[in-house]
């Protein structure tokens, strides 16, 4: 474990003790002299650790900036490259797109069997950017794998945006400090009134509540062909393929949980279970459905957000493709498309996000689905930037059909990516869910 992570872990334990004492006092219990002294001592230790963490992080940044790739000092900056451990691994030019440096780091480590020293040599000798070589020279291996440098982790999170529909629709990414984030929200506004001469101003105040996010561990396993790793120099687009594989695997997992996870155990709570009961609406039945009923129902979903006194900055629809294609097929009495704006990716004037992670086999008959109207500007993704990767060419994994697949037998390398994040709305009123939706069943 790196020094920064170890110090953060120690500080988190101190914070737990401090919060336990604070909870006693907030419950009306008077702290004893020993408890007060303990609180002061814990506070001092917490502040000292915070200073240490700041210095350690600065030291890591300096080390990453000034590091010399593994064998550079021995052969000289202008010396010829030494014999390559894997001569056919070459850099694909400057890393421009988000996540490319992370992809290069992944395939170098995979080609080196997880050996950082060898991967750093290959990076230097293969013409990779100095950022990649320095990162491989300075990152600290841990029991769970290799900790990805924070600037590389930030890039792969940015690459997730087009892959994850929740991110693409406008959910905000916020950092988790020590794995936690408490975001206050207003539940009741102040009341502004007009007064007459010599009339007292009524005293009013806002009421608040908190949305608390805590890091949940998410793991993605990405199988990569060993041929792709070994012949990475053949095409500069290889890095794009690796980035896409990582981003798609992580993005699909995020959508699955950010939309419908129930928050039990180690899972984050998704929008379906953040929605309040008064914002969960049964859709009208198909057999008596008319365009007027569709307009009235969808307008009612929009109205619930419009009357919730929230800023509607990034509202949009979230649905399974089945629902959108069914709406797209509807015609009015003259044979015209009922909702022509769907061709522009809009419905009722708001953008539509499509996700296969919304099930279509709900209900007793197994043919129901859901769709959502959400103010995505109020959706928060708490991110812990500690991203860890590890490798194996001997492990097995389950494919999409649930069958066990041997990476060794398939000549693949498995990349395991561990990320930590959580999801929650700033205002729970910003989520409206349509349930019992049979629209498009049988298509």
CA–CA gap between residue 254 and residue 357 (Å, rounded): 10
Could you list the beta-strand ranges (E) of 131-248: 141-142, 145-148, 172-175, 180-188, 207-214, 216-225
Whether 35 is in a domain gets the answer: yes
Structure tokens at 78: 């202008």
- Which residues sit opposite 398 in a β-bridge? 404
Least confident of 162-166, 353-357, 400-404: 400-404
Whether 209 is in a domain gets the answer: no
In a shared domain, residues 318 and 429: yes
What band does 207 get if pLDDT is binned at 50, 70 and 90?
Answer: low
Q: What is the mean pLDDT of the segment spanning 405-416?
A: 86
pTM of the model: 0.67
In a shared domain, residues 7 and 152: no
Whether 254 is in a domain gets the answer: yes
Residue-level pLDDT at 234: 38
In a shared domain, residues 235 and 132: yes
Name the residue range of residue 335's domain: 271-379+425-437
Whether 284 is in a domain gets the answer: yes
In a shared domain, residues 50 and 138: no
Residue 22 has pLDDT above 80, yes or no: yes
Q: How many domains does the chain have?
A: 3
Task: Give the list of residues 6+ apart from residue 198 with CB closer than 8 angstroms, or none.
Answer: none
Residue-level pLDDT at 17: 87
Query: Which tops the pLDDT comparison, 236 or 250?
Result: 250
CA–CA gap between residue 181 and residue 214 (Å, rounded): 6
Whether 411 is in a domain gets the answer: yes
CA–CA gap between residue 344 and residue 347 (Å, rounded): 9
Whole-Å CA distances, 213 to 291, 322, 332: 41, 32, 46
Residue-level pLDDT at 204: 54
In a shared domain, residues 329 and 430: yes
Residue-level pLDDT at 97: 67
Whether 71 is in a domain gets the answer: no
In a shared domain, residues 392 and 251: yes
In a shared domain, residues 305 and 159: no
Residue-level pLDDT at 73: 37
Structure tokens at 344: 């522009």
In a shared domain, residues 352 and 225: no
Whether 392 is in a domain gets the answer: yes
In a shared domain, residues 60 and 154: no
In a shared domain, residues 320 and 431: yes
Most confident of 111-125, 153-167, 342-356, 411-425: 342-356
Please write the tens of the pLDDT for every residue from 286-334: 998 999 999 999 999 999 999 987 778 899 999 999 999 999 999 999 9
Q: What is the mean pLDDT of the segment spanning 161-181?
A: 84
In a shared domain, residues 254 and 396: yes
Which among 66, 96, 112 is the end of a domain? Answer: 66
CA–CA gap between residue 147 and residue 388 (Å, rounded): 4
The total of other beta-carbon atoms located within 10 Å of residue 312's CB is 14
């Amino acid at each position: 474990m790196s020094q920064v992570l170890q110090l953060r872990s120690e500080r988190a334990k101190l914070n737990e003790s401090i919060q336990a004492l604070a909870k006693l006092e907030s419950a009306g219990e008077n702290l004893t002299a020993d408890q007060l002294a303990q609180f002061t001592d814990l506070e001092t230790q917490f502040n000292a650790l915070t200073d240490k963490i700041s210095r350690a992080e600065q030291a890591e940044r300096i080390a990453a900036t000034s590091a010399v790739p593994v064998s550079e000092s021995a052969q000289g900056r202008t010396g010829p490259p030494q014999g390559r451990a894997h001569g056919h691994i070459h850099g694909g030019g400057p890393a421009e797109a988000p996540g490319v440096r992370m992809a290069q780091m992944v395939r170098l480590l995979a080609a080196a069997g997880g050996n950082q020293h060898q991967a750093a040599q290959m990076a230097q000798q293969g013409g990779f950017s100095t950022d990649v070589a320095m990162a491989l020279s300075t990152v600290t291996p841990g029991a769970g794998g290799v900790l990805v440098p924070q600037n590389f982790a930030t890039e792969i999170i940015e690459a997730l945006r087009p892959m994850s529909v929740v991110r693409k629709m406008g959910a905000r990414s916020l950092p988790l400090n020590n794995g936690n984030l408490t975001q206050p929200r207003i539940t009741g506004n102040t009341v502004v009134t007009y007064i007459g001469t010599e009339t007292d101003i009524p005293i009013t105040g806002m009421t608040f509540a908190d949305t608390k996010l805590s890091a949940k561990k998410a793991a993605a396993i990405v199988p990569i062909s060993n041929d792709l790793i070994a012949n990475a120099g053949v095409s500069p687009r290889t890095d794009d393929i690796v980035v896409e594989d990582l981003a798609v695997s992580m993005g699909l997992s995020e959508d699955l949980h950010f939309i419908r996870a129930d928050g039990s155990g180690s899972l984050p709570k998704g929008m379906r279970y953040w929605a309040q009961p008064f914002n969960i609406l049964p859709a009208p039945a198909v057999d008596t459905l008319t365009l007027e009923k569709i307009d009235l129902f969808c307008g009612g979903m929009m109205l619930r957000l419009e009357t919730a006194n929230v800023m509607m900055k990034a509202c949009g629809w979230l649905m399974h493709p089945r629902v959108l294609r069914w709406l797209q097929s509807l015609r009015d009495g003259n044979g015209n498309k009922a909702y022509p704006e769907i061709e522009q990716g809009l419905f009722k004037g708001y953008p539509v996000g499509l996700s296969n992670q919304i099930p279509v086999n709900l209900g007793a008959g197994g043919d129901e689905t859901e769709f959502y109207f959400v103010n995505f500007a109020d959706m928060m993704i708490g991110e812990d930037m500690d991203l860890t990767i590890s490798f194996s060419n001997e492990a097995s994994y389950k494919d999409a059909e649930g069958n066990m697949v041997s990476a060794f037998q398939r000549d693949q390398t498995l990349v395991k990516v561990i990320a930590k994040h959580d999801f929650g709305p700033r205002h729970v009123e910003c989520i409206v869910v349509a349930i019992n939706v049979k629209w498009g069943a049988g298509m």
